[in-house]
Amino acid sequence: MYNSGAPLEFTGGLEMAGDPKIPNPGPNGWFDPNAFRILPPFTVRANPYLFDGVHGPRFWNLDATLSKFFPIGERYKLEFRLEAYNATNSLMWANPNLSVTSSLFGRSTGQATGNRGREVQYTLRLMF
């Protein structure tokens, strides 16, 4: 599974002060936080909610399954199955903080929801 990163939607009260796109985004900054500033009171927002080239973190995951059937006579089969989830044990970063008033604005500080470490399970099943 591969996901190139969702576009980040800036919905709070902020205005543009430059170009938010940076050459090498990462967990310490997915965009340039200096390109935004707090919108002055009683000011109508004029900038867009999405910016070209400003995306959240990529997601990639490798799940694998190995299975082997062993015939036991004419009527019975035995199946051994090994399944690995997140086989590469990769960290998937959560979307960055998008609150312009936060000291963590633009940074990822946690894992994506549902991202766990490697999980392996095995099964032995008799079919008749």
Q: Which residues of the chain have pLDDT under 50?
A: none
Q: What string of H, E and C letters represents the secondary structure of the chain? A: CEECCCECCCCCCEEECCCCCCCCCECCECCCHHHEEECCCCCCCCCCCCCCCCECCCEECCCEEEEEEEEECCCEEEEEEEEEECCCCCCCECCCECCCCCCCECCCCCECCCCCCCEEEEEEEEEC
Tens of pLDDT, residue by residue over 71-101, are 999 899 999 999 999 898 888 888 898 888 8
Whether the pTM exceeds 0.85: the reply is no
